Structure 1
Amino acid sequence: MTLSERYGKARWKLAQYLEGKWWQRYLKNKSPEAYLADKRRYWQSLLDDLNWETVKGRQVLDAGCGPAGIFIHLRSVEQVVALDPLLDTYAGTLDIFDQGNYPEVSFYQQPLEQRLPEDLKFDAIYCFNAINHVADWSTALDQLTAYAHPGTRMILSSDVHRHAWLLPIFKALPGDALHPQQHGPEAYRTALRQRGWIIDSEMVLREEAIFNYTAWTLTFQG
């Protein structure tokens, strides 16, 4: 393993640790029931903003699902497989997450870069605010693409850099320790197109000083 690879792995492990701590702090004084109800409303509102329609019985992937990913909203409509490397951490520390509350959902504890054990293909893929948490950005995008067949739809969202001059600084230094991956919007567009995805829409969901939280809706051409 090269020095760069070791640095990247260490940065990812730190980010995973901080992610678990962030959730504990964020939810400390929140009612689990109220939070989950608000989150379900948020997911529906977001799908409405993106003009995205769910399909009864469709096979879908919630990639990097976290403790309250879109699976909590889709569970009774689409057939959801959900994966995240921190599922055990969430189950052991957060009142909002118990896999037993979602018997319709198939959970896998693993990073996005790791292939699911079955040779699964999905009709739709949801990857919200997860692709910039991975250790290996290119491999994670490759794996997401490997789950698609021609015609598969995907929503991919991420914080992307607004200012090109800040990007190399954040890549070199842990200025954003929660997010090991630091990329601008054109890097996402290029990487997705190179893998056979057609960009149907691109929407900035939230603007901040350094990042734009951006969502792409995509169709896999193959």
Structure 2
Amino acid sequence: MQDDFWTRAQEGERDYWRSDFARTQEGNPERRRDLWNGYLDHLRRKRPFHSGDRVLDVGCGPAGIITAVETHCERYGVDPLMDFYRKEYSLPEGIHFSGQTGERLEFADGFFHAATCVNVLDHTRDPQAVCNELFRVLQPGGYLLVEVDTFKGLRYVHKAFKRWTRMVRGRIEKHPHTFRASRVIDMIERSGFEIIEHSLRPGRKRQMLLLVLRKRS
């Protein structure tokens, strides 16, 4: 992924988070809490969050899934647009926010007990590097929740071609990558994760892939 493509994608993200919809809906933690808890329940059924657990959310935005993690945990959220969010939003308290990228996390090996990466991989510069870093910073036996939109058949071809033409023409494209479900699973397995739960929710234009993963002890 060339840096200029990714930089334009980040510009598109900033434009989105300035919109009234983002400010009143996705940027409001209380409006998103039920959605986030629905995702987190997939993790909780495998490994409940314990007091003192360190939990990381990669690509957290101003009101991501980390806001619904139990407050007795040490909660961390990283996003390359964090400086922008600090200026535009009132960020929730009790969370360690920083402007790191998922490709280069500034945490020690095995630092976290659990992590989340929801609607993020297709926004990154190097999704394989993000998967590798998440594996590195999780402790052995740690769990990761991943969710990403995927496409199949002609819908995948159309989406990938549209994305490519927008990027080549210098137009903003918020999603630098278009994935088939098999590509995401391949990246996950290359990183070393064990797939504990795998679900694919069909939609009119896309399929939502949700994975619960574990770093083998």
Same fold (TM over 0.5): yes
Partner of residue 166, structure 2: 174
Give the TM-score taking structure 1 as reference length. Answer: 0.82
Q: Judge conservation of contact 1:122–1:147 (CA < 8 Å) in 2.
A: yes
Greater Cα offset, 72-81 or 106-115: 72-81
Helix, strand or coil: the match of 1:27?
A: helix
TM-score of the aligned structures, taking structure 2 as reference length: 0.84
Of the three residues 81, 88, 97, the one matched with 2:83 is 88
Map of 1:71 onto structure 2: 66
Tell me what 1:36 maps to: 29
Cα 1:197–1:119 change in 2 (3 A) is closer
1:57 maps to amino acid = G
1:148 equivalent to 2:138? Answer yes
Note the residue ranges of structure 2 that are not aligned, 5 or more in a row.
none
SS at match of 1:203: strand
**How far has the Cα of 1:126 moved from its partner?**
0.6
* Counterparts in 2 of 1:192 and 1:93: CA distance versus 1, 3 Å: same
Distance 1:30 1:105, change over 3 A: closer
Distance 1:44 1:200, change over 3 A: same
Q: Deviations over 1:196-220 (max 9, x none)?
A: 11111122346231x2122111111
State how many pairs are aligned.
209
User: Alpha-carbon deviation of 1:24?
Assistant: 1.6
Give the deviation of 1:78 after TM superposition.
1.8
| Separation (CA, whole Å) in 2 of partners of 1:168 and 1:21 | 22
Matched residues in 2 for 1:171 and 1:149: separation? 36
* Structure 1 or 2: more helix by fraction: 2
CA distance in 1 between counterparts of 2:81 and 2:115 reads 19
Partner of 2:17: 23
Q: CA separation of 1:195/1:57 partners in 2, compared to 1, >3 Å: closer, same or farther? A: same
Q: Alpha carbons of 1:36 and 1:182: their partners in 2 closer, same or farther (altered >3 Å)?
A: same
The gaps in structure 1 that reach 5 residues or longer are none
Task: For 1:135, give the aligned amino acid.
Answer: R
2:53 alignment counterpart: 58
Residue of structure 1 equivalent to 2:129: 139
Question: Does structure 1 retain, via aligned residues, the 8 Å contact 2:144–2:213?
Answer: yes
Secondary structure in 2 matching 1:21: helix
1:194 aligned residue: 190
**CA–CA separation in structure 2 for the residues paired with 1:56 and 1:182:** 38
Q: Report the CA distance shift for 1:26/1:15 in structure 2 as closer, same or farther (over 3 A).
A: farther
Percent identical pairs in the alignment equals 22
Are 1:208 and 2:201 counterparts? no
| 2:179 equivalent to 1:183 | yes
2:100 aligns to what SS in structure 1?
Answer: coil
Q: Which residue of 1 aligns with 2:3?
A: 9
Equivalent position amino acid for 2:83 in 1: D
Q: In the superposition, relative to structure 1, how do residues 190 and 115 fare at CA in structure 2: closer, same or farther (>3 Å)? A: same
Q: Which amino acid aligns with 1:46?
A: Y
Tell me what 1:161 maps to.
151
Q: Which residue of 1 aligns with 2:41?
A: 48
**1:13 is aligned with what amino acid?**
T
Deviation for aligned residue 1:89 = 0.8
The answer to whether the 8 Å contact 2:197/2:211 transfers is: yes
CA spacing shift, 1:49–1:144, aligned 2, 3 Å: closer
Q: Please give the root-mean-square deviation of Cα atoms over the aligned residues, in Å.
A: 2.6
